[in-house]
Amino acid sequence: MGRELALEVHLANGGALHLQDGLREAEPNAAHLALFELEQMGKLHTVITQNIDSLHQRAGSKNVIEIHGTMATATCMSSGKQVTQAEILRQWVAAREGKPDSSLRADIATDKWVPRHVETGGVLKPDVTMFGEALPAGALGRSWTAVLSSPVCLVVGTGLNVMPANMVPGLVKWRWGTLIVLNLDHSGSSSADIFLQGRAGEVLPRLVEAVRQRMQS
């Protein structure tokens, strides 16, 4: 493993551990729960997310594609074996015993501490896409399959300015599908068949209720 990549992995692990503190406190919000309700109603088949926090799964969604990876697991760079972040956290707690955080962060930055697989000794890398890495091909392929097979695509909280999100409108239009965009600002309004403006946590529950009433009528 090259020095630059090694340092990036070490720093990523350090950042991941601090990020985990925030993620453990985070809870699915009304938007996550609304999407799960749509799934239960048979109106939503796949969630494609750029987030790495697993909040969609915690809300109950079953078919979630994480195109930027997930903080929930890490992979041994020697063997390819996967572990949960709980294993890295266990090592982190043991390593920081009796040490101030500033000292341990310095150890991470200088390669003196790095989480390793307990069996192989290989460095554990969080399963997230780092800067300069390609997005996972499998996740992208499944995403495009889902978009191309869906008559309606609901895009929430993205400006559709960068890849791969900016490819969605073209794919939907190519197959004569309907594109619904929900954003706080006007991002995506020009390409949407239906544009909804507002906060996802406020608009999506109202959308769920409208769908429910339509199904009952």
Delimit the domains of the chain by residue range.
27-68+135-216, 72-128
- Tens of pLDDT, residue by residue over 109-153, are 555 667 888 888 888 888 888 777 888 778 989 999 999 999 999
Say whether pLDDT at 46 is over 80: yes
- Tens of pLDDT, residue by residue over 58-112, are 999 999 999 988 888 888 988 999 988 778 777 777 766 766 665 655 555 555 6
Name the pTM for this structure. 0.80
* Identified catalytic residue from 10, 45, 68, 117: 68
| CATH fourth-level superfamily of 27-68+135-216 | TPP-binding domain (3.40.50.1220)
Question: Does 68 participate in catalysis according to the annotation?
Answer: yes
Nearest alpha carbon to residue 153 among 184, 178, 186, 190: 178
What pLDDT, on a 0 to 100 scale, did the predictor assign at position 7?
Answer: 40
**Cα-based torsion angle of the residue sequence 74, 80, 83, 84 in order, rounded to the nearest 10 degrees:** 30
CA distances in angstroms from 101 to 73, 85, 150, 194, listed in the order given: 23, 19, 48, 49
Mean pLDDT in the chain? 82
